[in-house]
Amino acid sequence: MNTIIKIFLVAALLFVPTVAIAQTPTQTLPPITQEREQGITQERAPAPVPQKNCETMLCNPLKGVDSIGGLIFKVINFVYSLSYAVIAVFLIISGFKFVVAQGSEDKITDAKNTFKYTIIGAILLIGANVITEVIKNLIDSFR
């Protein structure tokens, strides 16, 4: 029961800022005056739309991201680049295991397994990257 409350609390904390900044003002309405209430109106130009600058309005801190889909693809690309670094580290670790094995059959088998699973992970990662790019290009072609 305690974990359910924690999950609900975290979900609520993540959802509240989304609701708070869901809409930005696009136009200010003229104030209601006594003449307007009585039907005596003068033609007024609508109030100017405020210009977007970072001092008075909330600006997008992410460069080149203008939608949720764009943000998702930026995060995915970051995870891919981080994963490529992890693959490089595991290739170095497997090479180190081969050197340290010094002919021991168990250690060589462990080094071979580390190398094999690293290569399988790299192939899966590259395949996932290709699939992501295909989906991105397909979505962009519909715009």
Burial 126-139 (b: 16+ CB within 10 A, else e): eeebeeeeeebeee
pLDDT band for position 7 (cuts 50, 70, 90): low
Residues in the chain: 143
Q: What is the pTM of this model?
A: 0.53
Measure the CA–CA gap between 122 and 37, rounded to whole angstroms: 70
Share of the chain above pLDDT 70, in %: 60
* DSSP letter assigned to residue 102: T
Helices 105-142, 68-101: crossing angle, 10 deg rounding: 160
What residues contact 80, with CB distance under 8 A and at least 6 apart?
Answer: 125, 128, 129, 132
> DSSP label at 21?
T
CA distance 128 to 121: 10
Structure confidence at residue 93 (pLDDT): 94
The string of pLDDT tens digits covering residues 32-61 is 555 555 555 555 556 666 566 666 667 777
Provide the domain limits for residue 20: 2-142
Total count of domains within the chain: 1
